[in-house]
Amino acid sequence: MKLFLLGIAFALSGSCFCQTDSRIYEIISETSSERIKADITTLAGFGTRHTLSDTVSNTRGIGAARRWIKAKFDKISSDCGDCLNVFYQKDLVKQGDNNRITKDVWVVNVAAVQKGTKYPNRYIIMSGDIDSRISDSNNFTDDSPGANDNASGMAGAIEAARVLSKYKFESSIIYLGLSGEEQGLFGGKGFAKHALDNGWEIIGVLNNDMIGNITGVDGVISNRDFRIFSEPVPPTETERERGRRRFYGGEVDGISRQLARYVHKTTKTYMPEMNPMLIYRLDRFGRGGHHRPFNDVGFPGIRIMEAHENYTQQHQNIRMEDGIEYGDKLKFVNFDYAEKLTAVNAISMASLAWAPPAPKNVAIGGVVEPSVKLKWEKVVGAKGYKIYWRDTTSPTWDYSKEIGDVDAYTLEGIVIDNYFFGVSAIGENGHESVVVFPSAVFR
Ligand SMILES: [Zn+2]
């Protein structure tokens, strides 16, 4: 009998060694392109959502748009027993702050917070943008539908709220509409400061900016490819941290890069039909996005977006020229693709929000030895850990070994010089934290 019970226990722990969670597949199938289409259509229908545009009208301008977004979040919240805390977060930006602020303006963000049951002060953010622009960045009156840039990201955040609010998570999730993006990333800056002021632990920002175009200016049409931009190391690192990298590595292993790898891996595991591309840079060449203000204060943040942009359909006056139809119009958005990228966000957030916190103070040793030693601070709520390593030229954590509830481990027969290493924490439910790159060395 005892042996029999042991057998069951083994089988159960074996089955809980789960690579996948069926709820993640539910989340993918519950994400709806029809609702995303309806929301992008409404947002594009506000005429312009320029940051400096009208705030009084209920049908045109950024004021109408943000009130509509807040009402959407409020409705989602009432459908889940008031599970969301919905609010405006705003900052006054003064005329002349830069040359795109031609008058004093309130930059108003809309946030919906779903509190975590176990780690309420740990937050994962999915952001889209409320505002839009045309050729002249300061024209706040002419039509600027901004269907792809960035009603698509905004609609994605609203849809993720609809889907994920049906579940309970251990960590908190924020669905966020940011404003002032096109005028100089003001909304992100304001919200990052709001997070700092409130002592929030932001474990990841998934900034979605243009997730609906599949027909690229490069002639490629692809509804599978998408990009995950991440900066290599935080801009807030110290001289000492920079100095030690020269000897111990970590040039391509900052916290935002680990977040990018997490989204990449989650997509590969659950949505193999998609082709996530890890892009090793902060953003597109010389261009900006709303993850950057979060990175600026030391939070991990990445940009998720289409792989093949079409420049005749972004930041353009609506017009015909030489037979080319210019403008960021609704008809150019592929809603099924926006649904896929929304699902990528939703499953990455769900997995992170179901996972325990990442291990802290990860240290590595093993110089001139035939083995690699790792140690870390145990995480309350973790049932075990996973040691990862990879070739120094590989973008992804290709090798791994799951271990039990310990705070140190030695990988025998592996030479420290030839790989990079990391550690993640695994929860009872099988969900895993981001991988942590060692920040200290021991003998
Ligand atoms: Zn833009």
Percentage of residues in the chain having pLDDT higher than 70: 96
CB distance 221 to 313 below 8 Å: no
d(C-alpha 296, C-alpha 317), whole Å: 32
**Structure token digits, residue 373:** 């030693």
| Residue 20: predicted pLDDT | 83
Q: What angle do CA 96, 101, 104 make, to 5 degrees?
A: 80
Expressed in angstroms and rounded, the spacing between residue 406 Cα and the centre of ligand 1 is: 47
Mean pLDDT of 385-395: 98
Expressed in angstroms and rounded, the spacing between residue 314 Cα and the centre of ligand 1 is: 7
pLDDT at 337 over 50: yes
d(C-alpha 409, C-alpha 306), whole Å: 40
As separate numbers, helices (DSSP H) first and strands (DSSP E) second, the chain gives 11, 17
CB distance 277 to 227 below 8 Å: yes
Residues 6+ apart with CB under 8 A from 38: none
Expressed in angstroms and rounded, the spacing between residue 253 Cα and the centre of ligand 1 is: 28
Expressed in angstroms and rounded, the spacing between residue 22 Cα and the centre of ligand 1 is: 36
Query: How far, in Å, are 74, 173, 175 from residue 161 at the CA level?
Result: 11, 9, 6
Expressed in angstroms and rounded, the spacing between residue 392 Cα and the centre of ligand 1 is: 35
Phi, psi of 229 (to 5 degrees): -90, 135
The per-residue pLDDT of the chain, averaged, comes to 95
Residue 150: cis peptide before it, omega within 30 degrees of 0: yes
Expressed in angstroms and rounded, the spacing between residue 368 Cα and the centre of ligand 1 is: 51
d(C-alpha 184, C-alpha 294), whole Å: 14
Expressed in angstroms and rounded, the spacing between residue 154 Cα and the centre of ligand 1 is: 13
Percentage of residues in the chain having pLDDT higher than 90: 95
Expressed in angstroms and rounded, the spacing between residue 150 Cα and the centre of ligand 1 is: 7
**Structure token digits, residue 142:** 């002419």
Expressed in angstroms and rounded, the spacing between residue 132 Cα and the centre of ligand 1 is: 7
Expressed in angstroms and rounded, the spacing between residue 28 Cα and the centre of ligand 1 is: 27
Q: Is 273 strand, coil or helix? A: coil
What predicted TM-score, i.e. pTM, was given to this entire model?
0.95
CB distance 48 to 140 below 8 Å: yes
**Structure token digits, residue 338:** 């926006």
Expressed in angstroms and rounded, the spacing between residue 142 Cα and the centre of ligand 1 is: 16
Expressed in angstroms and rounded, the spacing between residue 192 Cα and the centre of ligand 1 is: 20
Expressed in angstroms and rounded, the spacing between residue 336 Cα and the centre of ligand 1 is: 21
Expressed in angstroms and rounded, the spacing between residue 347 Cα and the centre of ligand 1 is: 25
> 185-241, pLDDT tens digit by residue?
999 999 999 999 999 999 999 999 999 999 999 999 999 999 999 999 999 999 999
pLDDT at 365 over 80: yes
Expressed in angstroms and rounded, the spacing between residue 215 Cα and the centre of ligand 1 is: 17
Expressed in angstroms and rounded, the spacing between residue 312 Cα and the centre of ligand 1 is: 12
| Residue 16: predicted pLDDT | 39
- Which residues are near ligand 1, the ion (C-beta closer than 5 Å)? 149
| Residue 19: predicted pLDDT | 62
d(C-alpha 436, C-alpha 212), whole Å: 32
Expressed in angstroms and rounded, the spacing between residue 131 Cα and the centre of ligand 1 is: 9
Expressed in angstroms and rounded, the spacing between residue 321 Cα and the centre of ligand 1 is: 21
If phi over 0 gives left and psi between -120 and 50 gives alpha, with beta otherwise, what is residue 81?
left
Q: What share of the chain is helix, strand, coil (3-state, %, to 5)?
A: 35, 25, 40
pLDDT at 9 over 60: no
d(C-alpha 433, C-alpha 353), whole Å: 9
> 241-264, pLDDT tens digit by residue?
999 999 999 999 999 999 999 999
Expressed in angstroms and rounded, the spacing between residue 225 Cα and the centre of ligand 1 is: 20
Phi, psi of 375 (to 5 degrees): -140, 160
For the chain, the first-to-last Cα distance in angstroms comes to 47
pLDDT at 85 over 70: yes
Expressed in angstroms and rounded, the spacing between residue 167 Cα and the centre of ligand 1 is: 32
Of 101 and 8, the one with more pLDDT:
101
> 406-435, pLDDT tens digit by residue?
999 999 999 999 999 999 999 999 999 999
Expressed in angstroms and rounded, the spacing between residue 341 Cα and the centre of ligand 1 is: 18
Expressed in angstroms and rounded, the spacing between residue 146 Cα and the centre of ligand 1 is: 8
Expressed in angstroms and rounded, the spacing between residue 182 Cα and the centre of ligand 1 is: 6
Expressed in angstroms and rounded, the spacing between residue 433 Cα and the centre of ligand 1 is: 32
Beta bridge partners of 375: 363, 408
**Structure token digits, residue 334:** 């592929």
pLDDT at 5 over 90: no
